[in-house]
Amino acid sequence: MLINRFTESFRLLVFILLPLTMAAWSHADKNLKPTEDEAKAHYTYEILKHTNWPAEDKLTSFHIGLYGTSPEYFEALSRLSKNKLRGKTITLSIINSPTFNPNDYALVYIASNKAKMNTRVFEQSTATLIITAGQIEREHLLYSLLARNQQIKVEFNRDNLIKRGFDISINMLAFAGNREDMSKHLREQKTMLLSLRDEVDSKKAVLDGLNAQLKNKNNSLEHTKTQYQASQSNLTNTQANLEKLLAEIEETKADLAINHSKLKTQGNELKKREQEIEHNKAVLSQQLLKINQQVQVIHEEQRIIGQQRTVLMGMYATAVVFALLALVLFKLNHARRSANKKLKALNARLYELATRDGMTNLFNRKHFLECAQTEFLRIQRTKGSAVLLMADLDKFKSVNDIYGHASGDEVLKVAASILKEQLRPYDIVGRLGGEEFALMLVDCSPAQAKNTAERLRQSIADTPVYSNQQKIDITISIGLSNIGKSDSCVEDTLKRADKGLYEAKTAGRNRIFFQEENG
């Protein structure tokens, strides 16, 4: 309780006296008329004094990098940095390259003419303290020095400093922090003291438990001492009993000597019995030999009978196996024919799924590009001609948004049906994805392709889609380009056609645009 009151009184005293001290220093500075750079150097040194680094004990010195500073600022900070701070030397370095690594320094000072570098240094640094002269966005702020009305104001972001492991002294909070920063710090200190109090209470409870255990041990020791004294008395009685037992043992030894003589006589009789047993064993061995010979004769007869039985069973089993094999082969042949039919149907279905778009039944992107590339190679060999079209439904997203995705799917199906019906059997059409289609008009001149594209555009514009009792008007934009001499693959032509589609969209949609090879 006394510690809490002392801590709160000390904080209040610091909070009251520090602004007065800083104001007195500022008044003294006005009388001495320090320059702005000298004042900034002084505040830089004060920030260094009142800020603790994460893992500061691992720092050998405070290495300060100065970027964009004037010689006057450098000289002023050099004068202030002559003495050691918290047992560490302070070294200054001028930074000339804008691509410097901020993690090479404990502190980086950025002059007002280079303040835009603050964001990059903030994002690249981890445990580097950044002081910037000028107004800085709060999310990238650690410390800033603002010159206003011939005075220097210190601003900082306490949350950013804490996230990076820096610790600010109560003096700095009282001088430059706002009420919220001071409140947070006081709450953290209060939480720490409460935690310490809880820890002391916990240690006291442990100590009380140890004292109780010690008392129990003392009681147990007294009880053990009483038991020991009783044991000593029992031991004396036991020794007397032991002497009696030794006398009885001597008497027992004499009896054993007599018994040993009797056992020796009995041993001689046992040897005679063993000789008789050995004779009986020899007689039994001869009888067993005769029995084994008779058993061998019986086994031989059983073996011959077993061989004959095995031959008969083998012949019967062979006949049954041949019959079963014939039946299995018949069923396997029938199953093979049925499986082949199903496999053909599945292969046809798989090919359709692999090459067709599930919604429009047009070629999917992969199969369209494969077919178009095959035609492209044929045209190059035969010196033929072909035109590729890139088509895209206009404002299709608004159809989905207004009428729903089911209506959007119906629009895609109707557009795909028109494209397929209007083309020749050997032309290639596919859905590349979404509302985008691609067409390849084989053996077709650019003029014929333009007519075909215009006919497709007009047919789609003249065919409204009805879905959910609603009429939906649709239009399409088409870009065209013919296969050129410089094209190495069909994708080159498609890219030009896509440029034409972009031009058609830019020009107002619902139109066609032919993209020349050199366009």
Please list the pLDDT of the chain residue by residue as tens digits (519 residues).
545 555 555 554 544 454 445 544 444 444 556 899 999 999 999 999 999 999 899 999 999 999 999 999 999 999 999 999 999 999 999 999 999 999 999 999 999 999 999 999 999 998 999 999 999 999 999 999 998 887 899 999 999 999 999 999 888 877 665 556 656 666 766 777 777 788 878 888 888 889 888 888 888 888 888 888 888 888 888 888 888 888 887 888 888 888 788 888 888 888 888 888 788 788 888 888 887 888 888 788 888 878 888 878 888 788 888 888 878 888 887 878 877 677 777 766 777 778 999 999 999 999 999 999 999 999 999 999 999 999 999 999 999 999 999 999 999 999 999 999 999 999 999 999 999 999 999 999 999 999 999 999 999 999 999 998 899 999 999 999 999 989 999 999 999 999 999 999 999 999 999 999 876
What whole-number distance in Å separates Cα of residue 225 and Cα of residue 419?
110
CATH architecture of 2-177: 3-Layer(aba) Sandwich (3.40)
What whole-number distance in Å separates Cα of residue 273 and Cα of residue 262?
17
The tokens for 429 are 């059409």
Where are the domains positioned within the chain? 2-177, 365-514
pLDDT digits (tens, 9 = 90+) for 338-397: 776 777 777 667 777 789 999 999 999 999 999 999 999 999 999 999 999 999 999 999
What whole-number distance in Å separates Cα of residue 364 and Cα of residue 358?
8
What distances in angstroms separate CA 517 from CA 480, 482, 483, 485, 489, one per listed residue?
Answer: 10, 7, 8, 9, 14
Pair type for strands 436-442 and 386-393: antiparallel
Decide whether 2-177 matches 365-514 in CATH topology: no
Name the DSSP class of 424. -
Q: Tell which residue, 477, 475, 476, 485, has the closest CA to residue 516.
A: 485
Q: Which option is the CATH number for 365-514: 3.40.50.300, 3.30.70.270, 3.40.50.1860, 3.30.465.10? A: 3.30.70.270
3-state secondary structure of 107: strand
Determine the pLDDT at residue 194.
Answer: 78
Determine the pLDDT at residue 292.
Answer: 83
Q: Would the CA dihedral through 480, 485, 491, 496 be positive or negative? A: negative
Task: State how far Cα 456 lies from the chain centre.
Answer: 51
Determine the pLDDT at residue 130.
Answer: 96
Q: Tell which residue, 495, 482, 490, has the closest CA to residue 444.
A: 482
Residues in the chain: 519
Name the DSSP class of 115. G
Q: Residue 484 phi/psi, 5° resolution?
A: -100, 170
What whole-number distance in Å separates Cα of residue 346 and Cα of residue 352?
10
Residue 477's DSSP bridge partners are 392
Compute the 3-state secondary structure of the chain and give helix, strand, coil in percent, each to the nearest 5: 65, 15, 20
Determine the pLDDT at residue 64.
Answer: 97
Determine the pLDDT at residue 11.
Answer: 52
Determine the pLDDT at residue 10.
Answer: 53
The tokens for 124 are 């690249």
What whole-number distance in Å separates Cα of residue 190 and Cα of residue 31?
41
Q: Are 98 and 65 in contact (CB under 8 A)?
A: no
